[in-house]
Amino acid sequence: MDKQNLFDKYGGVPTIKAILEKFYKDLLSLRWTRKMFVNVNMDKLILHQIQFVSFAMGKPESEFDDKRLREGHAGLGITEAQF
């Protein structure tokens, strides 16, 4: 039990998906974020984000390269403070 990863412990993809949907709903209700997501396919973004969070929570046999995170945000003009 104590060796269980956080991904399985908290219910895997369904839990992460529900939290991310709420997260982006709240995020996009803020004025300063909206313009950054106008041309973004949110369904696709949430799928990618599920992969990232699953990996970060220790899902077995998953991976998410730092390069993908860097390239995904390149050219968006995101400041340190926003991060």
Residues in the site for ligand HEM, rule: CB under 6 A?
33, 36-37, 40, 45, 48-49, 52, 68-69, 72-73, 76, 78, 82-83
What is the secondary structure of 40-63 as a DSSP string?
Answer: --HHHHHHHHHHHHHHHTT-TT--
The least CB distance from residue 69 to ligand HEM, in Å, is: 6
HSE of 36 in the Cβ direction (CA atoms, 13 Å)?
19
The least CB distance from residue 44 to ligand HEM, in Å, is: 7
The least CB distance from residue 13 to ligand HEM, in Å, is: 15
